Amino acid sequence: MAATTTRTLELLSLLQSHRHWTARELVERLGVSDRTLRRDVERLRELGYGIESIRGVAGGYRLEAGTGLPPLLLTDDEGVAIAVGLRSQAAAGLRGAEHTTLSALGKIEQVLPPALRRRIEALQSHSAPAPGEGPAVDSELLGLLALCCRDAERIRMRYTDAAGMPSARSVEPHRLVPLGRRWYLLAWDRDRDDWRTFRLDRIADVFQTRVRFEPKPLSEEDAVAHVRSAVRWRDRSVRAAVHLDAPLAEVQAALGSWGRDAYASTDGVGTVWPVEGESLQAVAAALLWVPPGIGCRVAGPPELTEYLRAQAERFAAASAHD
């Protein structure tokens, strides 16, 4: 009986850690037969857990969404991690989650053993929060993206870059990374064919495609390093949006790999080419890649506008001499 109970609890833990498991995956994880797996699923259903059976080639089992939550199975470390996270959140706050954070924290700490509560107090009193304040992030968006990362589900979304230019993105979300009081999504951009880092407060209109993808190999350490590198680059770089009077296909053909981040403008006629550089000179030099005969306008910080105007006057004066 003890072995059966242990196995059933292990099955429940697996179902809680992932939205969908195929029957074959569960059989291999638990080391049981298909028949034993079906019996264990029925035991959990009798205990009140809503478990949905999915037929087909990729069929399997998953916990039903939208039903009352039976008691969660948490290890000591998981309980401590959740309570510490909620305490930190109660101090920092996700937008729209202030009351629910404190309510959840009270419920969890009420059932924790005294030893674990002391551990949480020690962790909280001897750890410093990250300095600075960041923009508020919608808690519903954070939870949605976390699920998409966990379940390897492709999404479409709208993203507004640092220059204020919106674009439509189709991405494969990999990991959420908190950094400097901001949340970032590391994802594989299917249009750019490369890793991209997105600030959550600039993401909108997320659409779940229900299409699963095979996650690309990237460790947690490499993911965090990738986000840190991207943030360092953006913090020290000058950014601009070059509006070109030509269709996207023509611009990308002319720019080659330099135009991989270009996208069609909202009017569907022109093209927007995001440009970044470590200096005003670097961004100005990128404009030399614009093909002759294609009109362009540059949207960027005021100092870039002043620099371009000064250089235009300088070159005009230089060309006036024989």
Q: Which residues contact 160 (CB under 8 A, 6 or more apart)?
A: 166, 167, 202, 204
pTM above 0.85, yes or no: no
pLDDT digits (tens, 9 = 90+) for 214-237: 888 887 788 888 888 777 656 556
81 lies in a domain?
A: yes
* 242 and 267 housed in the same domain: yes
Q: Examine the fold and report which residue of 163, 188, 223 is the final residue of a domain before the chain moves on.
A: 223
* 214 and 265 housed in the same domain: no
Q: How far apart are CA 261 and CA 67, in angstroms?
A: 43
> What's 199's domain CATH number?
2.30.30
229 lies in a domain?
A: no
Q: How far apart are CA 54 and CA 59, in angstroms?
A: 5
Please say whether the beta carbons of 23 and 29 come within 8 A.
no
Pairing, β 263-264 against β 182-189: unpaired
Mean per-residue pLDDT over the chain, rounded: 76
* 243 and 315 housed in the same domain: yes
pLDDT digits (tens, 9 = 90+) for 71-97: 556 666 666 666 666 666 555 545 555
* 204 and 155 housed in the same domain: yes
Residue for token pair 């992030």: 137
* 172 and 146 housed in the same domain: yes
Q: Which residues contact 106 (CB under 8 A, 6 or more apart)?
A: none
28 lies in a domain?
A: yes
pLDDT digits (tens, 9 = 90+) for 116-152: 666 666 655 544 444 445 566 666 777 778 878 888 8
137 lies in a domain?
A: no
Q: Examine the fold and report which residue of 165, 197, 223 is the final residue of a domain before the chain moves on.
A: 223
Q: How many CB atoms lie within 10 A of CB 97?
A: 19
233 lies in a domain?
A: no
pLDDT digits (tens, 9 = 90+) for 144-201: 788 788 888 899 999 987 767 788 999 999 888 877 667 888 999 988 888 888 988 8
Total domain count, the chain: 4
* Containing structural domain, residue 164: 142-223
DSSP 190-236: TTTTEEEEEEGGGEEEEEEEEEE--PPP--HHHHHHHHHHHHHHHHH
Q: How far apart are CA 60 and CA 149, in angstroms?
A: 20
Task: Examine the pLDDT at 287 and tell me if it is beyond 90.
Answer: no
* 246 and 191 housed in the same domain: no
> What's 46's domain CATH number?
1.10.10.10
DSSP 78-129: HHHHHHHHHHHHHHH--BT-HHHHHHHHHHHHHHS-HHHHHHHHHHHHT-PP
What's the longest Cα–Cα distance across the chain? 99
Of the pLDDT bands very low, low, confident and very high (cuts 50, 70, 90), residue 255 is confident
114 lies in a domain?
A: yes
210 lies in a domain?
A: yes
253 lies in a domain?
A: yes
* 154 and 207 housed in the same domain: yes
* 242 and 315 housed in the same domain: yes
At 20, phi and psi to the nearest 5?
Answer: -135, 135
> What's 291's domain CATH number?
3.30.70
